[in-house]
């Protein structure tokens, strides 16, 4: 059963008088346990891809389905609930919630479901799992970049998501931290069956994943082994011109 599916998803941003294709006709199916790495440079559309996958942004065209449900057809409340329970996100600009300790920030998604003490115990466990138990009692400004990444990962994982969206989780990590974070992602996919979509800016960061593809100018380029049916959608000169109106 496909967990996340993109069907012809297009997203455009208005930039002055012209439109910018942030995503163009994306076809992508992610199964539970898949660890998908998307390789894109800056402005390639990878953050937009994750935001659309999380249901934070609606697509302009096409359909995004999570577990068979069209995200755009869900109410705002249902989408918010999905983000609290089923979809974990690690954003590059991640910060902890203002006024909370690191531990409480990590435990936050569980506060509604279980007692605070129980949620904090879980937060401790998950911080241990991602290799940052010492971060629990630290202040945010005391954390290294590696620890912040791991706190963000713990925050995403504590809700026991079925889908994890990670935007450049390896940025600003050193070699050993990177291996640890990617190792956690890989084991979460393989042992817990979590589907992961991760973006990365360069090749070495991609190679711990199970599937890799490339995003450039909003177009997803897959190795031929990934091609099911249609070839990548080549931009047609006339089409692009007319789109700009």
Partner 1 sequence: MKPPTALGQPAGAPPDDAPGLAPPEPLGVVCVAAGAAVVGVVAAGEVVVGVVAVVVDVAAGVVAALVIGGGDTVAPLSRLSPEPQAPSASAQTRPSGSTRTRGGRDIGPMLARHPPQPVAPPNRFRYARVPGASHWVGPLQSDSGSRPVKGGADDTMSVKYAVLGLLAQRRGYGYDLVQRFEEQVGPAWQLNAGAIYVALDKLEQEGLVRPVADGDGEAPPTRRRTVRGAPRVIYEATREGLERFEDWMATGSSMSPLREELHLKLALSQPRNLPRLIELTYEQEQTCLERLEQHLGGPGFDDLLPSTPPWSAVASVMVRDAEIAHLQATVEWLRRIREAMRWLQEQPDALRART
Strand partners, 163: 87, 195
Starting at the earlier edge strand, list the strands of the sheet with 18-30: 18-30, 4-15, 61-66, 69-70
How many chain residues touch partner 1 (CB under 8 A)? 33
With a CB cutoff of 8 Å and minimum separation 6, the contacts of 96 are 102, 105, 140, 151, 155
Distance separating alpha carbons of residues 31 and 67, to the nearest angstrom: 10
- Residue 58 in contact with partner 1, rule: CB under 8 A: no
Could you tell me the smallest distance in angstroms from the CB atom of residue 93 to partner 1? 24
Q: Output the smallest distance, CB 70 to partner 1, in A.
A: 29
Q: Which is nearer to partner 1, 99 or 238 (CB)?
A: 238
10 binding partner 1? (CB under 8 A): no
Residue 184 has φ and ψ, to the nearest 5°, of -65, -45
Q: Least distance from C-beta 23 to partner 1, angstroms? A: 16
| 175 scored as a contact of partner 1 (CB under 8 A) | yes
Tokens 């390896």 correspond to 170
20 binds partner 1 (CB under 8 A): no
The single residue among 106, 178, 185, 189 that binds partner 1, judged by CB under 8 A, is 178
Q: How many residues does the chain have?
A: 245
Cβ 18 to partner 1 shortest distance, Å: 10
DSSP structure string for 105-169 = HHHHHHHTTS-HHHHHHHHHHHHHHTT-GGGTTS-GGGS-HHHHHHHHHHHHHTT--SEEEESST
In this complex, which beta carbon is closest to partner 1, that of residue 61 or of residue 226?
226
Q: Which of 70, 179, 193, 239 binds partner 1 (CB under 8 A)?
A: 179
Element containing residue 211 per DSSP (H, E): strand 211-216
181-240 residues in contact with partner 1 (CB under 8 A) are: 182, 202-204, 206-210, 212-214, 216-217, 219, 221-225, 232, 234-237, 240
Cβ-based nearer residue to partner 1, 6 or 35: 35
Tokens for 144?
Answer: 């290294």
Instruction: List interacting residues with partner 1 (CB under 8 A).
Output: 39, 41, 175-176, 178-179, 182, 202-204, 206-210, 212-214, 216-217, 219, 221-225, 232, 234-237, 240-241
């Amino acid at each position: 059963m496909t967990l996340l599916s993109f069907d012809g998803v297009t997203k455009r941003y208005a930039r002055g008088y012209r439109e910018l294709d942030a995503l163009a006709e994306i076809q992508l199916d992610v199964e539970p346990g898949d660890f998908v790495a998307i390789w894109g440079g800056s402005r390639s559309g990878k953050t937009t891809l994750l935001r659309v996958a999380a249901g934070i942004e609606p697509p302009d065209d096409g359909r995004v389905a999570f577990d068979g449900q069209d995200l755009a057809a869900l109410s705002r409340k249902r989408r918010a609930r999905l983000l609290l329970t089923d979809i974990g996100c690690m954003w590059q600009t991640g910060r902890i919630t203002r006024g909370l300790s690191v531990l409480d920030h990590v435990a936050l998604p569980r506060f509604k479901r279980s007692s605070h003490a129980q949620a904090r115990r879980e937060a401790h466990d998950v911080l241990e799992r991602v290799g940052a138990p010492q971060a629990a009692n630290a202040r945010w400004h005391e954390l290294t970049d590696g620890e912040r990444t791991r706190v963000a990962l713990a925050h995403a994982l504590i809700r026991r998501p079925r889908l994890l969206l990670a935007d450049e989780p390896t940025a600003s990590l050193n070699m050993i931290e990177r291996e640890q974070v990617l190792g956690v992602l890989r084991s979460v996919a393989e042992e817990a069956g979590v589907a992961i979509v991760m973006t990365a800016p360069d090749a070495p960061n991609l190679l711990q994943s199970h599937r890799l593809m490339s995003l450039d100018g909003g177009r997803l380029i897959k190795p031929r082994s990934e091609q099911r049916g249609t070839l990548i959608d080549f931009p047609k000169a006339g089409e692009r011109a007319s789109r700009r109106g």
